Copies of this chain bind each other. A is one copy, B any other.
Amino acid sequence: MPYTYDYPHPAVTVDIVIFTIVDDDFKVLLIQRDIKPFEGMWALPGGFVGIDESLRRAAWRELKEETGVHAAFLEQLGAFGHPDRDPRERVITVTYYALIPAERLKLKAATDAREARLFSMKDLPALAFDHAKILGRAHLKVKDKIDEPIVALQLLPASFTLSDLQRVHERILGTSIDKRNFRKKILALDLISPTGEERRDGPHRPAKLYRARDPADVPYR
């Protein structure tokens, strides 16, 4: 059942850069390829765009296949289409990036992958195709986005401490932030409110828990 056209058509895929934070570490989800080319290498999850499927819908589908997550912060990063980025045929990929709280991830390797794993952004393996370039651009984009403080909320559970929130910023930016200044700024924005609860998790003063003041800010939970 071949599909024929009057002139050559490229294949189009979506690839997704799925970021999360685990153990105070900024991580990305990679899959180990089980098929050629680049068999055995790590790569971004992704797949072909269905012929009647929007780009965004294809990204959602891949995200769900890989993680079980059906609601998340998901935005387009851009299209990458160097003619020789895939040795099989001309493949243009439209990339997305997602920010997901770690506890929502249920990793499952798709059929074309041996394994799905989270890698620290500080300790990445060699990547297939041009995925290192894509991942680099995604990281830059998130660094840029993080100073809309709503973005960091996407990576946290429904309730969190101010230290949790600060660590998200620090891990993404790769810098350290002054605690008093951070709290002053965040609280002045009036985006979050105390739940009234506390978290006690060690030999120190319990931390107040906060949540997003406006649920519309974190629509994906």
Contact = CB atoms under 8 A, between A and B. Distances in A.
Interface stretch (A1-9, A36-44, A61-69, A191-199): A1-9
A7 B48 contact: yes
Given A54-B81, A78-B79, A94-B79, A4 B7 contact: no
A82 B48 CA distance: 15
Nearest to A85: B54
Range of interface residues on A (Cβ < 8 Å): 20 to 34
Contact of A9 (B3, B52, B54): B3
A18 interface: no
Contact of A90 (B10, B52, B82): B52
A82 B4 CA distance: 21
Interface string A159-192: 0000000000000000000000000000000000
Contacts of A53: 83
Given A53-B83, A76-B78, A9 B7 contact: no
B6 A49 contact: no
A155 interface: no
Contact of A12 (B12, B54, B78, B82): B12
Contact of A49 (B10, B55, B94): B10
A87 B111 CA distance: 33
A138 interface: no
Nearest to A53: B83
A48 to B, nearest CB: 7
A62 B9 CA distance: 18
Contacts of A12: 9-10, 12, 81, 92
A57 to B, nearest CB: 9
B52 A81 contact: no
A11 interface: yes
Contacts of A7: 3, 48, 51
Which 8 A-B pairs give the minimum distances between C-beta atoms? A9-B9, A8-B51, A55-B81, A2-B4, A79-B79, A79-B94, A4-B4, A3-B8
